[in-house]
Amino acid sequence: MKKHIQGDVMLRAVKKPAEFKTAPEGAEILALGEHSGHGHVLEGCDIMIGADEKKYVIPKGGVQARLLHKHLTSNKPADHDPIVLDPIELGEDECYEVVIQQRYDPFEKTLKQVID
């Protein structure tokens, strides 16, 4: 399976959903570090929402598609190196599914999003 991992964000190659819509403005920020002010941000990609309400990413041809980890107020790089998303890496019927790491809380018996 083709996948890219940057901290608590994973992009994994999956078959394109039969139906999806364009994601709203701001969807390029995949995860936000509430305490540090950094974010995992996509550039050069189309971001779609599937019928399952998950985010899907399609790198645009002709521009460098990247997943960046940066401070949102200053645009300075944060802890993780950028990841280049090469559209050739995906098949014609594939895209990336956005997966945010979760952890299980055994006391509350719930899954919670990891905050990085």
pTM: 0.81
What count of Cα atoms within 13 Å lies in the side-chain half-sphere of residue 22? 5
Length of the chain: 116
- pLDDT at position 104, please? 62
Strands laid side by side in the 45-50 sheet: 3-6, 9-15, 94-100, 55-59, 45-50, 20-22
- pLDDT at position 32, please? 82
Q: What is the per-residue burial (b if ≥16 Cβ within 10 Å, else e) of 42-71? A: bebbebbbbeeeebbbbbeeeeebebbbbe
Per-residue pLDDT of the chain (116 residues; tens, 9 = 90+): 589 999 889 999 999 999 999 999 989 999 887 666 788 899 999 999 999 999 999 998 778 899 998 888 787 777 788 999 988 889 899 999 999 876 666 677 665 555 55
- pLDDT at position 116, please? 54
